[in-house]
Structure 1
Amino acid sequence: MRAKIVFASMTGNDEDMAEILEEDLLDQGLEVDSSDVSFTDANDYLDSDLCVFITYTYGEGAMTDEIADFYDQLKELDLTGKSFAVMGSGDKTYKEHYCENVFDFEKAFLACGAKELIPPLTVENAPDDDDIARIDQAAEELADKLNG
């Protein structure tokens, strides 16, 4: 099984999440490719069984240009038969906009026909030990459902 992780990271928090998830999925026996959204085309998901997008939400839910470009590309794909998961970080001081982009991508993947394997995983700011444990658990669950 092949997994493609695409991450968008302004402060490094989401890149950290991507690295943790990549290591976990490798430990679960998956073939994993990770890349920064700025250097990735959404079509790269077509070669994978599991599509993962990890993003931050800037301010009050605005997508930065590189995230918006990828989002527009993603919405054009047919991902029927693919599985997906979304994760990301945010700041709860933005209340209803907390991790808004994570949920925007969840809707986009569903509209493309992909199957959601786990609920969105959100982290406030940088992942702490509890968040790392949740990412570890998510990877195990993803692998079980893919191999299942």
Structure 2
Amino acid sequence: MNTIIVYCSMTGNTEQMAELIAAELTRLGDCVEVKDGIDAYADELIAYDRILIGSYTWGDGELPDEMLGFYEELQDTDLTGKIGAVFGAGDSSYDYFARAVDVLEETLKNRGCEIITNGLKVDKEFEEQVTTKCRTFCENITNAQVKVKTA
């Protein structure tokens, strides 16, 4: 499977998640490209089978500035026939925990992308917990992919 992971990170948590997910999917046989959201263009997504987007949540539930240009381009990108999922780090002390995951997931759906697993939200967790959650996220993705192919 040809997969792109587009992410933005401020403290390094979402970047760590992107790297863990990329490593696990590569181990499972995927061809994976990882791009920082500030250097990515939404029309690039069309060249990939699977789209994964990662973002932290800024302030009271907003997308971070580093993701805004990509997000705006995404509004005009047809992703019909693509599959995808979203992940990100958040802080549960805010009213809208990791809301960027929900916003990006909804946007992918609205652009025609089939969401194949629930978004992964991580909150100030120990590194081994993040690693385990990212592996489970990858298992969910690959299991859902099999279901999509056989449907």
TM-score class, shorter: over 0.9
Q: Which runs of 5+ in 1 are unaligned?
A: none
- Kindly state the Cα deviation for residue 78 of structure 1 after the two structures are TM-superposed: 0.8
> Which structure has the higher relative contact order (CA within 8 Å, separation 6+)?
1
- Kindly state the Cα deviation for residue 70 of structure 1 after the two structures are TM-superposed: 1.0
- Kindly state the Cα deviation for residue 127 of structure 1 after the two structures are TM-superposed: 5.6
What's the counterpart of residue 115 of structure 1? 114
What's the counterpart of residue 60 of structure 1? 60
Render the CA deviation track for 1:49-104: whole Å, top value 9, x for unaligned.
Answer: 11000000012112232211111111111111100100001111112x11011100
Alpha carbon RMSD of aligned pairs, Å? 1.3
Tell whether 2:8 aligns with 1:11: no
Task: Give me the whole-angstrom Cα distance separating, in 2, the residues matched to 1:135 and 1:35.
Answer: 18
Describe the shift of the 1:100–1:62 C-alpha distance in structure 2 as closer, same or farther (beyond 3 A). Answer: same
Amino acid in structure 2 at the alignment position of 1:19: E
* Aligned residues of 1:14 and 1:55 also touching (Cα < 8 A): yes
What's the counterpart of residue 44 of structure 2? 44
Amino acid in structure 2 at the alignment position of 1:100: R
Q: TM-score, normalised by structure 1?
A: 0.93
- Kindly state the Cα deviation for residue 39 of structure 1 after the two structures are TM-superposed: 0.7
Render the CA deviation track for 1:91-137: whole Å, top value 9, x for unaligned.
Answer: 11112x11011100010000001101100110003563223112101
Describe the shift of the 1:26–1:33 C-alpha distance in structure 2 as closer, same or farther (beyond 3 A). Answer: same
Task: Give me the whole-angstrom Cα distance separating, in 2, the residues matched to 1:10 and 1:101.
Answer: 14
Task: Give me the whole-angstrom Cα distance separating, in 2, the residues matched to 1:66 and 1:134.
Answer: 25
Q: Which runs of 5+ in 2 are unaligned?
A: none
Q: TM-score, normalised by structure 2?
A: 0.92
What are the within-5 Å matches in structure 2 for residues 1-148 of structure 1?
1-95=1-95, 97-125=96-124, 128-147=127-146, 148=149
Identity %: 30
